[in-house]
């Protein structure tokens, strides 16, 4: 397991706060209330461990497969439905939504290899990630890939806790399947918009792993 570069500053700040709180706690409380001092230590240590784990990148054997759409994120499949596209496309698409809890790995990966033809950040609200309107009203970053003659759209969507979306892709860039596309800090969701006729391999409630699980095939 390694730590994602997006977490370096956050973890450093968290470690500093952890040290400061416990230094003050042991100096002012340990003599008069040792139990309270230990409770503070255990509680803040737990928060620090959670913070470190949030930015983890576990060792995995990634799936690279032509004609397949690989999960762009860890999480839970919360929606599979035919929808009218509201950005870039004008036709109907199959939407597959993956909800990411704060406990999930939060690095996002390219679902296919190909060319980035569209990459756009949108300011917006911070509705809970499973809200039906979060896909269109929340802060989000949209990317469209052209792969093997097809185009698929991916949205990184902020939630009630997520306040920062990071995306590394630019139009014209050639990318490899399962390579990093970005990172969402503190829980959210990722939506895939696939052409009609795409064979969906997951169902609602499934728990895909980013860069590993096949979501669909063309």
Q: Nearest Cα to 184, choosing from 165, 157, 208, 211?
A: 165
d(CA 6, CA 2): 12
Catalytic pick from 37, 134, 147, 188? Answer: 188
Contact assessment for residue 97 and residue 78, using Cβ atoms and an 8 Å cutoff: yes
33 is catalytic: no
Q: Please list the active-site residues.
A: 188
């Amino acid at each position: 397991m390694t730590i994602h570069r997006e977490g370096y500053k956050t973890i450093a700040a968290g470690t500093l706060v952890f040290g400061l709180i416990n230094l003050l706690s042991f100096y002012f409380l340990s003599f008069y209330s040792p139990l309270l001092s230990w409770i503070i230590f255990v509680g803040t240590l737990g928060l620090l461990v959670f913070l470190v784990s949030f930015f983890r990148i576990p060792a995995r054997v990634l799936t690279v497969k032509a004609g397949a759409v690989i999960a762009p994120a860890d999480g839970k499949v919360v929606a599979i439905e035919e929808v009218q596209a509201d950005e870039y496309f004008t036709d109907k698409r199959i939407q597959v939504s993956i909800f990411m809890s704060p406990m999930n790995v939060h690095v996002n990966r390219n679902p296919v290899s190909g060319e980035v033809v569209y990459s756009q950040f949108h300011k917006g609200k911070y509705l809970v990630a499973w809200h039906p309107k979060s896909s269109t009203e929340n802060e989000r970053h949209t990317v469209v890939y052209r792969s093997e003659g097809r185009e698929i759209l991916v949205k990184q969507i902020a939630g009630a806790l997520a306040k920062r979306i990071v995306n590394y892709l630019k139009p014209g860039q050639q990318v490899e399947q399962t390579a990093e596309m970005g990172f969402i800090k503190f829980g959210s969701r990722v939506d895939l918009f696939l052409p009609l006729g795409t064979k969906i391999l997951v169902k609602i409630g499934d728990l895909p792993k980013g860069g590993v699980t096949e979501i669909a095939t063309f």
